[in-house]
Amino acid sequence: MILGALAMIAANGASVLGARMLLARVAVGRQAVDFVLFLLLRLLLLSAVVLIAGTAGGLTPGVLGITGAAAIALLVALGAHRGLRRPDVEGWDRWVLVLGALVTVRLLIQVWFLAPYHDDVIAYHLPKIVEWVRSGGFTRELGPDPRSTFPAGFELIETWWVVFLHHDVLIEMAGVEFLLLAGAGAYALAREMGWSVKSAAIAALFFVLTPGIHFQATSCFNDGPVAALVVATAALILARVPAALILVPVGLGIGIKPTFAYALPGLAVIAWLCRREPRTAAPSSRTAWTACIAALAIGAAWYLRNWAVYGNPVHPMGWNGMKNPTSGSMVQRMGPSFQALQENLSGLLDVRIYDRIHAPNAPGAGNFNWGAAAFAIGMPALVPLLRTEAPLRRLTIGLVLSMGCVFFLVEYDLWYTRFVLFLTVLPALALARLWERHRIVAVLASAALVSGILGTCVPGAVPEESLRHMVSVPAAVRAARPPPQRPAYGQTIGYLAVYHGSAYLLYGADYSRRIVYLREKTLDELLARLKADGLTLFYTPTGRFLEESMLEEGVRRGVLRSFKDGDWPGYEVVFAK
Amino acid sequence: MDGNLRKPVPPVAWEVLLVALLAAWRAWSHPTALLWRDWFLLLCLFWIFTALCSRTRAWPYVAGALMGGLLVLYGWGQLPLTFAAMGLGR
């Protein structure tokens, strides 16, 4: 663990110095925009390193740590450390700094005490990470759920935060990196619109405290990162930086989730509306284009892999979208739908904006999760500003169009609002602008800020027993719920690979358990597989799934016996006497 | 022909007309009993007020009243849920 921690420090140090060195070649000379570029370059480096190490079979703490240490030596020799200085926070109100520091500390506490808890995350986002980390490289096995093949750009950053310790205690740091990018993006947008440092800092604070954005950061969901990248892209567009640099977050975003691509038309409109503004040059266009090509390649990697392996770049989606194999209901749609647009818009305006279905939560369950500040202060504040501030008007037109495009392309369900969390940067910006102009806005926004701080303490839509379990067990074994007791620790566990499930939790927080996914479609094949792998029992997801009839046949024939180990339903093999 | 007759309609009139149409659509398509707390309608009405009276002394007071009212409306629905998630108020 200590060697792993040292390797993590070395690799992170190298990535910071490397990003700084690249920044020196593409910096545009405006602090806020350059900080956004620095964060993007670091994320680009981390993604590239994990992608290359995973492909080459070098995804281990030893390889990454030694490479990191060597890179530090090389970068220091090249002078990358020169000119390192404390962040410039001149002009920031003291209370913003204090509150920002407190929110950061609270965020780290949340990282420490929260383990991956949401169904989607533990069913299909994270099992692939464990498989990669356990085998020290990319694997064909990605997890039990067919959606495991979705683009995994965010999982690259999550892998970075688990590979060194071989443990998921810091996995949420990946989301925190993107939360920082979100704040930096909001700050840069305000500065690029010519607003004061104070307004920009307040906008960043309110945006980061947007409940949906905040909880996404510590939930292992990839919609917060998409929102952060949309906002960062918008900031670079408003800053009129070279196209090559604007395409860096675009490449990363497309590699994280297709919903980023859905938002692109709105971003293109912002670029078109800003076309007469003076351009900003980067010192080295070669470095900028190299970063651009790398980001686009990283983004395209998942679609190319799916095309090569499954013959379909968006596998497992087909032309008719994707349906729940058990219920037959539409899970993801493919292509635009006016009905989806209408349902999504009215769902947002009639219900979701009030945030009164659940406590603020990460998956977007029932709410927009934009908080009191955006609902009550930010959106009314946007009205007068849209009439007078042209850059804000352009940004609003673009982001509202992005929202429309996303709504045109996604299915109406309980959770769709998390795909448009980028929109909440608009009320955060407007609130910050009027904060300086009208005392009444500052007073009311302070009350909303208290509500925002309270609302981002404990994530909603998480079972109470799960929260209690996470904070009560040591970090070494922290999980959303206790794993089954059988088989004995260290032995391989069988798990029926069906749609959904909680496979990730079976690996253990230290990824020490091996899971065999059972994909057999007949009872005899299943029994043969269990015998071949030496498994005497296996677990299944809770709820209904198509393979139930196969298991019922096994029980009927007397070769399987169902059991329950805590919350875990399973079957054990009955051997002939 | 008198030149005044060809005077273009001021942009603010178009703005008010457009937002008024949105407000009317919302009022028509939404249950009447719920209109007093319909966020979209309130925002439309505030937009019309802003378009016509943004330079008056009354604007900050009306804006403050609207924001305060919306804050209460939001808190009324959300705070009990927030407190419940924190293990309070049950």
CB distance A444–B64 less than 8 Å? yes
What is the ipTM score, two decimals? 0.92
The rounded distance, in Å, linking the Cα atoms of B19 and B25 is: 10
The rounded distance, in Å, linking the Cα atoms of A81 and A20 is: 8
pLDDT of residue A576: 59
Contacts for A274 with CB less than 8 Å, ≥ 6 apart = A237, A238, A240, A391, A394
Q: Is the pTM of this model over 0.90?
A: yes
In terms of Cα–Cα distance, which of A231, A199, A138 is closest to A445?
A199
Check residue A321 and give left, alpha or beta (phi > 0: left; psi -120 to 50: alpha).
left
pLDDT of residue A543: 78
Over 50: is that where the pLDDT of B1 sits? no
User: Angle at the Cα of A30 (from A28 to A36), degrees rounded to 5?
Assistant: 80
- Who among B64, B74, B85 is closest to A372 (CB)? B74
CB distance B39–A354 less than 8 Å? yes
Please tell me which residue of chain B has the smallest CA distance to A457.
B86
| Both tokens assigned to A34 | 């350059």
Please tell me which residue of chain B has the smallest CA distance to A437.
B60
Inter-residue contact A459 to A361 (CB < 8 Å): yes
pLDDT of residue A330: 85
Q: How confident is the model at residue A297 (pLDDT cuts 50, 70, 90)?
A: very high
Chain B residues lying within 8 Å of A441, measured CB to CB: 63-64, 67
Please tell me which residue of chain B has the smallest CA distance to A442.
B64
* Pairing relationship of beta strands A493-496 and A515-518 according to DSSP bridges: parallel
CB distance B70–A355 less than 8 Å? no
| Both tokens assigned to B89 | 């108020």
Q: What is the pLDDT of residues A234-266, one digit of tens each?
A: 999 999 999 999 999 999 999 999 999 999 999
Q: What is the pLDDT of residues A464-498, one digit of tens each?
A: 899 999 999 999 999 999 989 888 877 899 999 88
Residue type, A197: V
Chain B residues lying within 8 Å of A353, measured CB to CB: 39
Q: What is the pLDDT of residues A402-459, one digit of tens each?
A: 999 999 999 999 999 999 999 999 999 999 999 999 999 999 999 999 999 999 999 9
Mean pLDDT of chain A: 94
Residue type, A341: L
Over 80: is that where the pLDDT of B90 sits? no
CB distance A460–B81 less than 8 Å? yes
pLDDT of residue B5: 61
**Residues 16-55 of chain B whose Cβ lies under 8 A from any Cβ of chain A:** 30, 39-40, 43, 46-47, 50-51, 54
Contacts for A147 with CB less than 8 Å, ≥ 6 apart = A123, A124, A316, A322
> What is the average per-residue pLDDT within A128-156?
96
The rounded distance, in Å, linking the Cα atoms of A261 and A257 is: 8
Return the number of CB contacts < 8 Å for A and B.
Answer: 98
Please tell me which residue of chain A has the smallest CA distance to B34.
A350
Question: Does the CB of A372 have a partner CB in chain B at under 8 Å?
Answer: yes
Task: Point out the least confidently predicted range of A182-191, A388-397, A483-492, B73-82.
Answer: A483-492
The rounded distance, in Å, linking the Cα atoms of A33 and A246 is: 11
Over 90: is that where the pLDDT of B39 sits? yes
Over 80: is that where the pLDDT of B4 sits? no
pLDDT of residue A511: 94
Q: How confident is the model at residue A112 (pLDDT cuts 50, 70, 90)?
A: very high
Biggest alpha carbon–alpha carbon distance for chain B: 75
The rounded distance, in Å, linking the Cα atoms of A518 and A498 is: 9
> What is the average per-residue pLDDT within A86-105?
90
Chain B residues lying within 8 Å of A372, measured CB to CB: 71, 74-75, 78
Contacts for B44 with CB less than 8 Å, ≥ 6 apart = B19, B20, B22, B23, B26
Question: Does the CB of B56 have a partner CB in chain A at under 8 Å?
Answer: no
Chain B residues lying within 8 Å of A365, measured CB to CB: none
Q: Say which residue, A318 or B66, is predicted with more confidence.
A: B66
Please tell me which residue of chain A has the smallest CA distance to B37.
A354
